[in-house]
Amino acid sequence: MYIDRHDVPNATPEALADAHRRDVEVQSKHDVRFHTYWFDPDNGTVFCLAEGPSRQAIDAVHEEAHGLVAGTVLEFDANATPLNSFFGSMPTHPVGTAYTAPALRAILFTDLCGSVAQTHQLGDDGHMQLLAEHNAIVREELAAHDGREVKHTGDGIMAAFNSVVAAVGFAVTVQRRLRERNEQATTPFHVSIGISAGEPVTDDHDDLFGAAVQLAARLCAAAGPGDITVSVAVRELCLGKTFRFEDRGELELKGLPEPTRAYAVAWRE
């Protein structure tokens, strides 16, 4: 399977629908099948999902159909990469129908804080009980906020959302539920959450949501117990909503070459 990226400033939904129609008309010549595409007119980006024998075959279809060759073509293992977990339901509009469907996703990590100390204090069974409570709360709220679990990380969950606003709303609800739980529990526990946002393929990261995944994981690691730490993009995409953000300044995040500005979601009020 392949996903490619086109940068098409000023393109219209109608023009993209026509280009996709032309791809489908000639795809069989190159043993390629284009499944769908995502078009974000605000960012001027298009991502196409296709299967075929090679990157060259994907390019050949675009070249013959309309000349709009992708800037990046990423190959991935459809069995190993949980594509539906990232994207949710795929666009299924009839060929030639004009539509927009941005490919930008919010990527979120949760982490059960102090897991090593909990294991020493409570034993394996006690720690696993707290983790089970974490999992239940997170999965209930993922369902309520249209989020999708990508994978369990051992002490937390990685998730994806179509909406950045929904991802932040999920995080706030989880932290408030945990606060209510801890007020009545014999053994309290806390969770840190990190959120970033990005498109599936960038020019300098050759994997699916690579930069966004790495940033979300690092923001989660930098968050304190009970905190929600987010990227600049997440804050900007929530402008005009009811969330409040506190500037955390430039953070030195492991694995990233430069300090990264981050914000905390003020959920406790």
Q: What is the pTM of this model?
A: 0.93
Cα–Cα distance for residue pair 21/34, rounded to 1 Å: 10
> pLDDT per residue over 204-222, tens digit each?
667 899 999 999 999 999 9
Backbone conformation region of residue 202, classed left if phi is above 0, alpha if psi is from -120 to 50, else beta: beta
Are domains 2-87 and 105-265 of this chain identical in fold? yes
pLDDT of 23 higher than 70: yes
pLDDT of residue 21: 98
Look at the block and give the residue holding tokens 């990508």. Answer: 150
Overall average pLDDT of the 237-259 stretch: 91
Contact 192, 108 (CB under 8 A): no
User: What is the model's pLDDT at position 204?
Assistant: 65
What is the per-residue pLDDT for 67? 95
Angle of the 55-65 helix axis to the 13-26 helix axis, nearest 10? 120
CATH topology for 105-265?
Alpha-Beta Plaits (3.30.70)
Q: Each residue of 149-200: pLDDT tens digit?
A: 999 999 999 999 999 999 999 999 999 999 999 999 999 999 999 999 999 9
Sequence ranges of the domains in the chain? 2-87, 105-265
Chain centre to alpha carbon of residue 244: 22
Higher pLDDT, 167 or 89: 167
Q: What is the pLDDT of residues 103-148, one digit of tens each?
A: 999 999 999 998 777 877 878 888 899 999 999 999 999 999 999 9
CATH tag for 2-87 (out of 3.90.550.10, 1.10.10.10, 3.30.70.3090, 1.10.150.20): 3.30.70.3090
Residue 118 DSSP SS3: helix
C-alpha 150/C-alpha 20 separation (Å) is: 29
Residue 114, pLDDT score: 84
